[in-house]
Amino acid sequence: MPEADVSKAEKNYYTDQPQKNEAFFLKGSNNYDWGFKNRLGRIFNCESGRTVMLAFDHGYFQGPTTGLERPDITILPLAPFADALMLTRGILRSLIPPSLAKATVLRASGGPSILKELSNEHIAMNMEDAVRVNACAVATQVFVGGENETQSVMNLTNLVDAGNRVGMPVLGVTAVGKDMVRDAKYIRLATRMCAELGAAVVKTYFVPEFETVTAACPVPIVIAGGKKLPELDALKMAYEAIRQGAAGVDMGRNIFQSEAPVAMIKAVRKVVHDNMKPEQAFELFLAHANLKKHKA
């Protein structure tokens, strides 16, 4: 018990100052509960409103992906430069030190390996476990137009229901099948469906006319990096995505498969958080990478 308040000083209720009632900084996110917003606020930087999420969950269906054979060696040095880590709970528990104060986005779906039909996913993690490891969001893919479209949509909606019970945002990932056209019309459909079905954040691919994709999606969009590109091209893609309304990147191979991954993630940060032009960020990459002869 504290002592009774016997101070003689006059109390100050600041009656001339109305209490602030600020809107939450993220698009479409004002009506969530405190814990839900707090988790989003750990993924997204409240100054820039954006995030650099480092994706290295690829092993959940394709095993030791190039660059991820030893995440303890290749990923841990990158972690300090990421705002959030997107990973599986297996790698989280086995390799990520709990003292690393980073937001985590946990892959919550799984099932088929790369040898089978990928759209045949199910929810592969209990929400209680996401809470147990203090995750900031959980992720599942939606295969719009895919063989198991409805099943993957139900994975998302079930995860959203479970997440809403505990204040856990869901990242909806738009998976584009091998035979599907990756254009604005398709990406608008898939991203909008994810948002309508309750995803708090949507991850998708950058396509021409991307501003129509972000305009039609009521929640923040982050872009996946996709296959490894020359560094300058990856930085140009990130820049254009941000310019056209993306709230950040959820980038994997274009960072961890880079010739100089730490230099690359630093350059990506500059583009995402400081609107640095890609050519300038590429110069920074070269300087940090000490690869003066590197070709774009």
Min separation Cβ 14 and ligand R5P, Å: 47
Which C-beta is closer to ligand R5P: that of 160 or that of 238? Answer: 238
List own/partner pairs for 88-94 with CB under 8 A and 24 or more apart.
Answer: 88/57, 88/59, 88/60, 89/125, 89/129, 89/130, 89/133, 91/56, 91/57, 91/59, 92/133, 93/133
Place of tokens 């602030």: 20
Choices 18-26, 109-117, 222-230, 262-270 (CB under 6 A): range interacting with ligand R5P: 222-230
Min separation Cβ 101 and ligand R5P, Å: 21
Footprint on residues 225-244 left by ligand R5P (CB under 6 A)? 225-226
Min separation Cβ 4 and ligand R5P, Å: 56
Footprint on residues 243-272 left by ligand R5P (CB under 6 A)? 250-254
Which C-beta is closer to ligand R5P: that of 249 or that of 284? Answer: 249
CA distances from 111 to 123, 140, 151, 285 (A): 8, 12, 12, 37
Amino acid at position 176, single letter: V
Which C-beta is closer to ligand R5P: that of 35 or that of 63? Answer: 63
Gap between the Cα atoms of 55 and 272, Å rounded: 15
Choices 69-77, 121-129, 184-192, 220-228 (CB under 6 A): range interacting with ligand R5P: 220-228
Gap between the Cα atoms of 115 and 118, Å rounded: 8
What's the distance, CA 283 to chain centroid? Answer: 26
CB atoms within 10 A of CB 44: 26
What is the full DSSP assignment across 17-50?
SPPP-PPPSSTT-TTS-HHHHHHHHHHS-TTTS-
Does 169 help bind ligand R5P (rule: CB under 6 A)? no
Question: Which strand (E) or helix (H) includes residue 207?
Answer: none
Does 83 help bind ligand R5P (rule: CB under 6 A)? no
Site size toward ligand R5P (CB under 6 A) is 13
Min separation Cβ 252 and ligand R5P, Å: 3
CA distances from 247 to 109, 259, 279 (A): 23, 26, 20
Which C-beta is closer to ligand R5P: that of 225 or that of 261? Answer: 225
Q: Does 203 qualify as catalytic in the annotation?
A: yes
Given the residues 203, 236, 266, 270, the one annotated as active site: 203
Which C-beta is closer to ligand R5P: that of 37 or that of 271? Answer: 271
Does 224 help bind ligand R5P (rule: CB under 6 A)? yes
Q: Is 149 exposed, middle or buried (0-12, 13-18, 19+ CB in 10 A)?
A: middle
Q: Give the per-residue contact string, 51-80, with ligand R5P (x = CB under 6 A; - = no).
A: ----x-xx----------------------
Report the interface residues with ligand R5P, using CB under 6 A. 55, 57-58, 86, 173, 224-226, 250-254
- Catalytic site positions: 203
